[in-house]
Chains A and B, each alone.
Chain A
Amino acid sequence: MEMPTPDSSVIGKKPQLISRLMELLPNDAIIHEDIETRAYECDALTAYRCAPLAVVLPSSTDEVAAVLRICHEMRVPVVPRGAGTSLAGGALPTADSVILGVARMTEILETDYDNRVIRVQTGRTNLSVTGAVEEENFFYAPDPSSQLACAIAGNIAMNSGGAHCLKYGVTTNNLLGVTMVMMDGEVVEIGGAHLDACGYDLLGLICGSEGQLGVVTEATLRILHKPEGARPVLMGYDSSEVAGEVVSDIIKAGVLPVAIEFMDRPCIRATEAFAGAGYPDCEALLIVEVEGSEAEIDEQLEVILDIARRHDPVELRESRSSEESARIWLGRKSAFGAMGQINDYMCLDGTIPVSQLPFVLRRIGEMSKEYGLDVGNVFHAGDGNMHPLILFDANKPGDLELCEAFGADILRLCVEVGGCLTGEHGVGIEKRDLMFDQFAPDDLDIQMAVKDVFDPKWLLNPAKVFPLAASAGRRAA
C-alpha cells in the first residue's frame, strides 16, 4: 500500500512542535520518544506500520482545540485515533503526522433516561456506554464485535455496525449530536438531544467521514430499554441458495429478526474444530434471533420455523434455555478467532444485494481455487454485509500480496452485482485504491470538495479514503 512521502520539513519541525505542545498540555499527554511512539504505529490492520512524529493524548475538548490550532499553524498532518481497532488502516500514521488520541476522554457527561439519551466523551468504549446504563435496563444498540475495545470516536468515524443492526440500525441511526473540533481549532456543536437537523444534516455527513472532517470529542447517543428477552434458532441447509431463500422468505413474511447470521462450510468446520459448538457439517448455517417477551418470541418463531421447515433443513434447533442460546451463538462468536487459529487472515466486508448471495458465494469459491487460498464466509445475511475471511501465511513471501489481490477481486465482485466495497469497516487505506471501481471521478470529486470545505489544507488524516493520485493536487495545495 502506497503512502505519501513524508514531508521532511514537517519532520524537521519536531523539536519546535514538541516544545509548543509541552507548553499547553501536561507532559504525560505527549509521547515523542521513538521507542514509545511505536506503540501507535498501526491499528488492527497490522500489515501496515509507521511510527508517527508524536502522539498527543488530550483530556478535554479545549485541549484538543489547542493541539489542533498548533498543528494547523505549523501545517502538521493529524491522524485522529480512538482505540485503534480499525480493520481498514483508518488510524495508520504517517511519519510526518501527529496522532491525536481521545483514549483519555472517557467521561459520561449526562445520562437522561426520560429523553433516552446519553452524552459521553468519545474516547469511551462502546461496551462501557451500555455498561453505564445497564442499571436501568437500558443499552446502546450498535454492537460491533470489537465493542469491548473500540471507542465511540472510531464508531462515529467509521459509522460502525454490529450483529443487531438489522433491527436497530448502525451508528448514524443512533447518533443525535456531536461536539467536534475543526482542524483550525474551532469548536462546533452539531445536533443535540433533539431530533433531526433544521439546516443541512451535517451530523449525517460527519458520521462515517473517517476522521477527515474534524475531531469528534463528545457525542449524544440514543439509548433504549432492553427487550424483555431474546432467543435464537439455528438452521442448517445443503445449499446456500436455499439458505438465501429462507432469509428472503422470513423477511417477506413480515418478521423482523434482530439478527440473521450466516456461515458457510469452511467457516463451520473451522469453528467446530476450535469451539465445538455442535454445529452440523453443512453448506450453509443460519442463526436467526428474535426479541420480546416469551409469548412474543414464540409467536415470531412459529412463523420462522414454519418457513425453515418448508425448505428441508438438515438441522433445525430452537433454543430452550439460556445455555442453549449461548451454545448456538458460541460458534458464530468465535468464528474470527477460529479462522485466526488456522492461519493469518484478512477480513473483508463488502455488501451485496441479498438476492445475489448464492452467485457471489459460488464465485468466491471458484476464485479461492484459482488463487490457491482458503476462504471462509461468515456474515450478516439480513442486510447482505459479507465478511469473507481469506487465510494466508504472513511469513510466506508473496502471500500477503496474493491475498490482497484476491480480496480486491471479491470487493470488485460485490460492486459488480450492485453492492459496495465496505459495509461497516470503512475505506481507510485498505480500500482506498479501489474507490474508482465503485465511483466515477465526479462522484469522488464532490466528496473531496466536502473535505475542502471542512479542512481546506487537507491536514486531517489526508492519505485515507481517496486514491492518492486523485487527492494529490488538493493535498499539495
Chain B
Amino acid sequence: MEPVSESELSKMIAGADGPLQIIGGGTRPVGRPVDGAALSLAKLSGVVEYEPGALTLVVKAGTPVAEIERLLAAEGQRLPFEPMDHRGLLGTKGAPTIGGVVAANVSGPRRVQAGACRDYLLGVKFVDGTGRILKNGGRVMKNVTGYDLVKLMAGSRGTLGVLSEVSFKVLPEPPAAAVLRLGGLDEARAGEAMCAALRSPFEVTGAAHLPADITGENAATLLRIEGFEASVSYRAERLGDLLDGFGKVEVERDEAQIAQTWSAVRDVKAFHDHAGDVWRYSVRPTAGPALGASLRAMGAQALQYDWSGGLVWALGPEGADMRPEGLDGHATLIRAGKETRARLPVFQPEAAPIQKISQALRDRFDPRGILNPGLMG
C-alpha cells in the first residue's frame, strides 16, 4: 500500500483487516520483527510550508531527509538535532524520510546541547488505528494548548498512529566551527574531559570519545564549537586552556574535515564494516565509562561514546543479552538478526506500572492492534 494523500492513508487504515507494517524509507528497521502488510509513506511527500524568517518548516511525513536538508541549507538553516543516518550501521538502502526520523526520535551528537528531535517538533498530523485523521500542536514555536501528543508521537515508532505531516522549529546554521581533539586518553579521563567542557559557558555542541578499539587509530576525544568566526576562535582558545590538564589539544578548523568527523560520529562509522550486534545505551554521562568497562567484560569488541559519555554504543557478540544488571538508564538493541530481536527485548523493559500505561495508550490509539504490532513489545 502506498497512499498518495492523507485521506487515502486514512481509508487504507480504516479498511485494513490485518496487521500493518509502517514504512518510511525503510532504513531503520529497529524493533521486534513485525509481520504485516507493508504500508509505505513514500508517496506522501513534499514541503507544505517553509518560513525561514520564522524558523518554521511543515513537511509531509514521507519527504526524504536529504530534500529537507538541501532546502534548509539554501537558506543557511538546518535541523538542529543532527539526525543520524542509520544506513551504514544497519546495512539498509533507500532514502530516509522525515517521518521515520520523528517516529524513532532520531537525533545526533548535537543532542547534548541543542536537544532531541522531539524538542524541535512543533506539530504532528497522524492517522490512528481506526483511520481517524488527528492533529496536535501546530506550526508555532510556543504552544501549550491541550496535551502534548507531539512528544508522545515522537519515538512511538508507528505503534500509536501513522504520521502524515510534521512541523519543526529549525535554526540558523552557524558560519564557523572548530573541533578540539585530545589524543590517547583512557575512557575515564576522556569522560572527565568531556564533562569539564560541558560545564563551561562555551556551548560545546558535540562531545565524543572514540576509543582505539577497531579503528586502529589512537583514541580521540572530540569537542565541537559552532558559531560566528570570532566567537569560535575565542571559545576554542578558552576551552583549550580549560582542558590544559588533559594533554595536548589540537584544534581543527577545516570545514570539510569537521563535517566528515562528525558525520562519522553521528553514524557510528567505526562499526560499519564489522559483524556483531549493536547496542545503544543512554545513561548519566559520568556513568558512561564505567558502563563501558562492564560492557567490555561482557564481550563488547568496540565502544563509542557520545553526548559527553551519556550515549554509549557497543559492538557485541551476536545473540548475547548485553544489558548489564541494574542499568540506570536504558539500552536498545539497534542491530541484530531477526531471531535475536524476537528473543531478546529490543527496548529496555519498563517497570510494571509504565508498561501498563504504554499498553493502555496503544489500546486507545490503536484498539485493533494493527499498527506495527509487537514492535515495541
User: Knowing A254-B173, A384-B140 touch, does A186 contact B53 (C-beta < 8 A)?
Assistant: no
A165 to B135, CA, bound (A): 24
Type the 1/0 row for B328-340, where 1 means its CB is closer than 8 Å to any CB of A: 1111100000000
Interface residue? A199 (CB, 8 A): yes
Residues of B within 8 A of A192 (CB): 284, 328-329
- Could you say which of B53, B116, B364 contacts A453, with CB atoms under 8 Å apart? B364
User: Knowing A114-B195, A173-B115 touch, does A380 contact B142 (C-beta < 8 A)?
Assistant: yes
Type the 1/0 row for B105-148, where 1 means its CB is closer than 8 Å to any CB of A: 10100011001101100000000100011111011111111111
A266 to B169, CA, bound (A): 31
A158 to B150, CA, bound (A): 15
- Could you say which of A190, A208, A355 contacts B54, with CB atoms under 8 Å apart? A355
- Could you say which of A114, A196, A352 contacts B140, with CB atoms under 8 Å apart? A352
B330 & A114 in contact (Cβ 8 Å cutoff)? no
Residues of B within 8 A of A225 (CB): 199-201
Interface residue? B354 (CB, 8 A): yes
- Could you say which of B105, B133, B174, B328 contacts A196, with CB atoms under 8 Å apart? B105
Beta-carbon nearest neighbor of B367 in chain A:
A449
A351 to B123, CA, bound (A): 14
Within 8 A of A (CB), among B197-251: 198-201, 227-231, 234
Type the 1/0 row for A101-137, where 1 means its CB is closer than 8 Å to any CB of B: 0000000000011111100000000000000000001
A447 to B135, CA, bound (A): 10
A61 to B108, CA, bound (A): 35
Beta-carbon nearest neighbor of A165 in chain B:
B142
Interface residue? A79 (CB, 8 A): no
Beta-carbon nearest neighbor of B355 in chain A:
A199
A447 & B228 in contact (Cβ 8 Å cutoff)? no
Interface residue? A332 (CB, 8 A): no
- Could you say which of B75, B111, B138, B230 contacts A195, with CB atoms under 8 Å apart? B111
Beta-carbon nearest neighbor of A423 in chain B:
B142
B144 & A194 in contact (Cβ 8 Å cutoff)? no
Residues of B within 8 A of A439 (CB): 135, 145-146
Interface residue? B172 (CB, 8 A): yes
Interface residue? B348 (CB, 8 A): yes
B115 & A169 in contact (Cβ 8 Å cutoff)? yes
User: Knowing A254-B76, A443-B136, A449-B364 touch, does A435 contact B146 (C-beta < 8 A)?
Assistant: yes
Type the 1/0 row for A419-454, where 1 means its CB is closer than 8 Å to any CB of B: 111111111000100010011101110110111111
Interface residue? B154 (CB, 8 A): yes
Beta-carbon nearest neighbor of B55 in chain A:
A251
Interface residue? B276 (CB, 8 A): no
User: Knowing A296-B231, A354-B53, A446-B128 touch, does A195 contact B282 (C-beta < 8 A)?
Assistant: yes
B132 & A194 in contact (Cβ 8 Å cutoff)? no
Type the 1/0 row for B143-185, where 1 means its CB is closer than 8 Å to any CB of A: 1111111111011100010000000000111110000000000
Type the 1/0 row for A157-178, where 1 means its CB is closer than 8 Å to any CB of B: 0110100011001101100000
A431 to B231, CA, bound (A): 44
A201 to B102, CA, bound (A): 12
Interface residue? B52 (CB, 8 A): yes
Residues of B within 8 A of A198 (CB): 282, 330-332, 347-348, 350
B52 & A252 in contact (Cβ 8 Å cutoff)? yes
A161 & B139 in contact (Cβ 8 Å cutoff)? no
Interface residue? B261 (CB, 8 A): no
- Could you say which of A117, A190, A227, A355 contacts B51, with CB atoms under 8 Å apart? A355
Beta-carbon nearest neighbor of A426 in chain B:
B144
**Nearest Cβ on chain B to A114's Cβ, whole angstroms:** 4
User: Knowing A204-B118, A355-B53, A435-B146 touch, does A293 contact B358 (C-beta < 8 A)?
Assistant: no
A114 & B286 in contact (Cβ 8 Å cutoff)? yes
Interface residue? B3 (CB, 8 A): no
Residues of B within 8 A of A452 (CB): 364
A192 to B116, CA, bound (A): 16
Additional pairs, 17, CB under 8 Å, beyond known A165-B142, A447-B149: A188-B357, A195-B116, A198-B348, A199-B348, A199-B354, A200-B152, A201-B105, A247-B53, A254-B172, A292-B231, A419-B140, A420-B140, A427-B145, A442-B133, A447-B136, A454-B357, A465-B146
> When A and B form their complex, which 9 residue pairs have the shortest distance between CB atoms, in order from nearest?
A204-B151, A248-B53, A423-B142, A254-B172, A198-B330, A383-B141, A194-B329, A193-B284, A449-B364
**Could you list some 11 contacts between A and B, CB below 8 A?**
A112-B286, A194-B328, A196-B155, A199-B347, A252-B53, A252-B76, A256-B171, A426-B144, A444-B146, A449-B365, A454-B357
- Interface positions of A (Cβ within 8 A of B): 112-117, 137, 158-159, 161, 165-166, 169-170, 172-173, 182, 186, 188-190, 192-205, 207-209, 225-228, 247-249, 251-256, 292-293, 295-296, 299-300, 351-355, 380, 382-385, 418-427, 431, 435, 438-440, 442-444, 446-447, 449-454, 465
